[in-house]
Structure formats: structure tokens, C-alpha cells
Amino acid sequence: MSARLPSSVPILVIGAGVHGLSTAWHLARAGEPPLLLDKTGIGAGASGIACGVIRNNYFQPAMSELMAACVEVWESDPAQLHYHGSGYIALGPPAQESDLIAVHERQQRIGYPSELCLGEEEVAAHMRSLYGDWRATGLTVCLHERAGGYAFNQESMLGLAAKARHAGARIETGVEVTGFDLDDAGAVATVRTSAGEIAAGQVVVAAGPWIPSLWAMLDLPDRIDVRQPDGHVQSDLPMWTYWYLQEGEIAFDPARFVTEDGRSSAVLHVDSDQPLRDDAGRLITREPWGVYFKPDRHSVQGGAQPLRLGHAIDVDPYPTGTVEPGFPDMWCAALSHCLGRFQGARPRYRQVRSGGAGAFTVDNFPVFDYMRPNVFVAADSNHGYKMIAVGREIARVLGGEHSSLLHPFRFERFATGDLHPVSHSPYPWS
């Protein structure tokens, strides 16, 4: 903490991850510079170790439209945000065709640049035109998003913090929020912190995996009823479930992970129903599998399906770098299955500070809404890092505007049944 905190502020933002920092930046740009607090540091949680994938491949219309806006923000300052607009390619077997066709059609309607390939021969030809050593089989659909790509996690958060400070926001780290005092109307009157109490006119809670604890401090329900679109009500469901993202990397010169014309590779996401074997021919799995991978600073990084942890975990210290014992074999075998250049990659695997735990909502989609009369909650359900425009939209809402992009993520949807459509994919991570 660099100086004594004020006893009152017009706007207090909690959390120095992507949503808190983006909100602070856009509020300050609009002439309403907030105070932002984080108990540890900038990008100390999920945002600082995210794989950094930025994509629009969502079956849900609201997610697709929000992500198009997010890509615009990333593209607004690639240098300071450490963004690489190399694109994103999703590939799958026949079971993925209907979803990716629907996603592509929507992207065309909203003007998001992408192209679709159908049929195993056409998909293979497209991929070999980009990567001469492409060798995956059984893939019959390819959605190639020409926008999007990836960013470097911690560097981008520091760049975002610099933008917020330059615009006038005050960021103080090492200050923990310990509670809220509510007035008779249910609004937050004071925020209790490790450095004293602060009266705040408006509060933005953007705490990533720590959201359940602040949710409880706000006396919000930990179990809710959810009305399905057909009118059926599921009762007493847990609001939060923790999942762990399995990610790792291989020591591989990113200058070798390029396309045939020498450009940095797009992010690749492959879902497959083919038997997966390692380079020695040992069977890894006959079950459907899926992976993603991209260039990193000095390596190739990526991951696979997350692990369900349950409804309560200890996020202090924040858990990172944990994977199932079979993950390295599976992920490296998948790299080699797709591209010949990754043959023999398994000995170069290394577990790094990556992945991390995420707090998922009851329907696995974000909640962006006022949860108290003066408290706006950004609970991203672990979709967060890529969603840099959410802070811009929160700033607009706090300024009295309506956000059509955030409206579909209001908490009320659980009671009204206005839920997001569910993908037809047999791959749960899709």
C-alpha cells in the first residue's frame, strides 16, 4: 500500500484481474476514476496465469456478440496489451459439425471474419495449406476465425493497469476486503478492508475465483432455484462449482510453430473421436478427446478438459500447476497426432504456473449484474481473461447506460428461464 486510503470514494473496484482493471480503465476514461483494491497484486489470480486464448467460438449468441466486442478492445492497442492477432482454428469430427456451422453463420451475420470448411478432404487440405506437416485424421469440420488469437497473460494485465493509471484510476494492492456493511435498503454503506473502512457510492466486485467468498459477504444465496426454458424448475442448486484447468507446455521454439508463410500460428483447438496413441504406438485413449495449443514466449502452451473439483476449495494460496497424472502423456500425444513437428515432444513437457481454479456459476455462464442496489458483480464463470470488453460495458452501466451485451447475463435469468442455449456437442468443454 503506497498511501493512506481515503475514507470514502464514489466508485470502488475490487480485484485487479482483467475485469477490475478494464472497468477501472474505462471508468477513468469516462471521467470517473475509481479506487481499485486487490489483496495481493495485479494479475495475481486467474488472469495472470491464463493461457491467453482469445476467440469467438461460442454456440451461444450472447457470448458470440460479447466476444466480438472483446476482440475489438484487444485490437485497439496490441502493443500495450501484448496481443497477437494470429486467429483461432477449431476443428472437430462429424459430431461437431452442426454447432460449428451455426457458429459460423452467426459470425457472418455480425460481421466477424471467419471461414468454414466441411468434409475430411477439404479440412485436411485447408490445414495442410497452413501447416505442411498436418496429419490429424477424422476431422470433418474446421472453423477458422481470422480475428482473435492470444495474449501474454501477466504482461497484458500490467499493460491494462498502466492504461487505467494513466487515465486517472488509483490502484492499491495488498489491501484485502473483509466485509460489507449494508444499509436498510440493502445497499453497501461501507466496505471493510484490512486498511480500514471505506464508504463507497458504487462498488464493482470482480474477484475471479474468489467471487464465492465476496458473494457470501454480500449475503447473497449460495443455493438457488433455476427455471428451465420449458418451465420446469430445478430446486436448491449450488450457485458455485469449482473446476481446475489442466494446462502445461513443452520446450519448443515458437519460431518453429509458424504457418507455411512464416506467420505465427493461430490458436488450434482440436476435438477428435480418433484413437489417440503416443509416438511409440501406445494407446492413450479410445474415448473422444480435445486439446488446444498455441505459441507462447519461449514454448508451446495449451491444455485440455478441466477437472471438476466440487463446491468448495481453498483458493489461498491460489492453486496452480495441478494436472491429472495422465495429462502430459495425453496432451503431448495430441500435439504429435496433429503436427509432425511435435513428434517426440513428451520429454520436453514441463509443468508451469498455469491453469488454476475457476468458480463456475450454476449454468456455467457469467453473471454480470447489480446484486445489491449499488454493487455490480462481474462473475465470469471462468470465461474471463478473453472478455476484456466487460469492463467497458460495466463502466457504461455505472454511468447510467444500458448494455445490450451484458443484459443476457443478468442474474434474473435463473428465475425467468431465459437461459443460454446448450450446445449439441458431446464434448463437455465445448
| pLDDT reported for residue 424 | 81
Query: In whole numbers, what is the pLDDT of the chain averaged over residues?
Result: 95
Q: Which of 424, 406, 425 is nearest to 26 (CA)?
A: 406
Beta bridge partners, 54, equal 149
* Low-confidence stretches of the chain (pLDDT beneath 70): 1-3, 429-430
Cβ-count burial 162-188 (b if 16+ within 10 Å, e if not): ebbbebebbbbbebebeebeeeeeebb
The range of the structural domain enclosing residue 205 comes to 6-83+149-225+366-430
Does 24 reside within a domain? yes
In the chain, how many domains are there? 1
- 136 domain-assigned: no
Determine, yes or no, domain membership for 267.
no
- Pseudo-torsion of CA 232, 233, 234, 236, nearest 10°? -170
C-alpha cell at 339: 503436427
Q: Could you tell me which residues come within 8 angstroms of residue 255 by beta carbon, excluding any fewer than 6 positions away?
A: none
Q: Rounded to an integer, what distance in angstroms lies between the CA atom of residue 47 and that of residue 52?
A: 8
pLDDT tens, 275-284?
Answer: 999 999 999 9
Residues 6+ apart with CB under 8 A from 281: none
Asked if residue 315 belongs to a domain, the reply is no
Q: What is the pLDDT at residue 1?
A: 45
Q: pTM, whole model, 2 decimals? A: 0.96
284: in domain: no
What are 181's strand-pairing partners? 190
The answer to whether residue 370 sits within a structural domain is yes
pLDDT of 3: 65
pLDDT tens digit sequence for 170-212:
999 999 999 999 999 999 999 999 999 999 999 999 999 999 9
Q: Is residue 122 part of a domain?
A: no
Could you tell me the CATH number of the domain that includes residue 371? 3.50.50.60
pLDDT at position 86: 97
Task: Identify whether 404 is part of a domain.
Answer: yes
* Whether the Cβ atoms of residue 383 and residue 389 lie closer than 8 Å to each other: no
**Residues whose CB is less than 8 angstroms from the CB of residue 314 and which lie 6 or more positions away in sequence, other chains included:** none
